[in-house]
């Protein structure tokens, strides 16, 4: 039916649907035309990850600390009141919890559950899952650690870990530096952030390990910035098995 009548006719009939009687055989088509078309074909369902319980390993302990409150104009309602200190065999991390997020820790079941005061508010619903992800990353960081593997693909691309650098000043005592050879005429030296361990099991592989996921992945992105993967020859620095879609070569 949609191929017989133009779309403007359907719009006109939809406007007059409540005013005048429409033939019965056109009713299903009018109802289908009034429905909004979404870009995604998946159903609109909210994520329930915020309420999912987090498993706490036996070697990890959670400690709740009350934070001192200060009067900040315009930000008092979002000022965190409680911080969670996560301790494990690899270190300890501190996570500030928003004031509207409640964390219940069951020590007997080794489970942690998060909830919010009003799940109908968009801001609280968004921070519900975000806070849970931060807490889970902290627990995994102090128990197992986070890893990023960078692969250097290209002729002559090499990487090494040096204890000294000529172009960068050390930020803390004993800092190591990642030295890259990725096609530039000048040396590229990047200081390894504190709390991150860098190694090169192969000349074209860089292994980053650390307890804080954000610090590890951010340093990996900083290294990747010097040679982003390009789609014509497939050269560049790839992070954690990253793949790109190759393109045909340009012919002038």
Residues 233 and 186 grouped into a single domain: yes
User: Phi, psi (5° rounding) for residue 248?
Assistant: -75, 150
On whether both 135 and 163 belong to a single domain, the answer is no
Domain of residue 199: give its range.
Answer: 147-239
The pTM for the full model equals: 0.77
Which of 87, 112, 144 is where one domain is finished?
144
Q: End of a domain among 144, 165, 188?
A: 144
Q: Please tell me what DSSP assigns to residue 248.
A: P
Asked if residue 129 and residue 108 are part of one domain, the reply reads yes
Q: Is the pLDDT of residue 30 over 70?
A: no
In a domain, 131, yes or no: yes
233 shares its domain with 156: yes
**Cα–Cα distance for residue pair 61/101, rounded to 1 Å:** 20
Examine the domain organization and report whether 221 and 194 are in the same domain: yes
| Within-domain flag for 244 | no
Q: Which two tokens stand for residue 160?
A: 């090494």
**How confident is residue 120, by pLDDT bands cut at 50, 70 and 90?**
confident
Residue 41: predicted pLDDT:
60
- Is a pLDDT exceeding 70 seen at residue 27? no
Say if residue 57 is in the same domain as residue 133: yes
Q: 136: how many CB neighbours lie within 10 A of its CB?
A: 17
Q: Are strands 196-202 and 188-191 parallel, antiparallel or unpaired?
A: unpaired
Residue 39 falls within a domain, yes or no?
A: no
| Top-confidence residue, 178 or 67 | 178
pLDDT reported for residue 1: 46
User: pLDDT band for position 19 (50/70/90)?
Assistant: low
CATH number at residue 101: 3.90.930.12
Mean pLDDT of the chain: 85
Q: Same domain, yes or no, for 131 and 168?
A: no
Answer yes or no: is 36 within a domain. Answer: no
Is residue 94 domain-resident? yes
- The pLDDT, as a whole number, for residue 44 is 60
* 116 falls within a domain: yes
Q: Indicate whether 85 belongs to any domain.
A: yes
Question: Between 9 and 138, whose confidence is greater?
Answer: 138
Residues 114 and 195 in one domain: no
Would you give the DSSP letter of residue 38? P
> How many structural domains is the chain composed of?
2
pLDDT, position 2: 46
Compute the distance between CA of residue 55 and CA of residue 82 in angstroms, rounded to an integer: 20
pLDDT tens, residue by residue, 146-163: 999 999 999 999 999 999
Q: Which residues of 194-219 are buried (b: 16+ CB within 10 A; e: fewer)?
A: eebebebeeeeebebebbbbebbbeb
Residue 182 lies in a domain: yes
The single-letter DSSP state of residue 8 is H
Lowest mean pLDDT among 32-36, 206-210, 220-224: 32-36
Do 140 and 156 sit in the same domain of this protein? Answer: no
Looking at the fold, whether 96 and 135 belong to one and the same domain comes out as: yes
Among residues 115, 144, 173, which one ends one of the domains?
A: 144
Q: What is the pLDDT of residues 141-200, one digit of tens each?
A: 999 999 999 999 999 999 999 999 999 999 999 999 999 999 999 889 999 999 999 999
């Amino acid at each position: 039916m949609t191929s017989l009548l133009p779309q403007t006719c359907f719009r006109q009939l939809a406007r007059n649907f409540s005013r005048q009687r429409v033939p019965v055989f056109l009713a299903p088509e009018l109802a289908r035309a009034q429905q909004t078309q979404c870009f995604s074909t998946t159903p609109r369902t909210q994520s329930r990850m915020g309420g999912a319980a987090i498993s706490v390993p036996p070697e990890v302990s959670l400690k709740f600390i009350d934070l001192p409150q200060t009067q900040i104009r315009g930000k008092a309602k979002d000022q965190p009141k409680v911080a969670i200190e996560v301790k494990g065999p690899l270190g300890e991390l501190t996570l500030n919890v928003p004031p509207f997020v409640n964390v219940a820790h069951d020590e007997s079941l080794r489970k942690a559950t998060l909830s919010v005061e009003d799940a109908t508010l968009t801001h609280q619903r968004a921070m519900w899952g975000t806070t849970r992800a931060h807490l889970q990353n902290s627990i995994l960081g102090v128990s197992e650690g986070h890893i990023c593997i960078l692969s250097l693909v290209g002729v002559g691309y090499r990487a090494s870990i040096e204890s000294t650098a000529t172009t960068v000043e050390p930020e803390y005592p004993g800092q190591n530096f990642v030295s890259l050879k990725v096609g530039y005429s000048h040396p590229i030296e990047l200081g390894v952030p504190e709390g991150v361990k860098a190694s090169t099991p192969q000349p074209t592989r860089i292994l980053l390990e650390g307890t804080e996921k954000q610090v590890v992945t951010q340093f990996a992105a900083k290294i990747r910035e010097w040679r982003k993967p390009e789609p014509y020859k497939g050269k560049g620095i790839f992070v954690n098995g990253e793949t790109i879609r190759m393109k045909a070569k340009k012919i002038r």
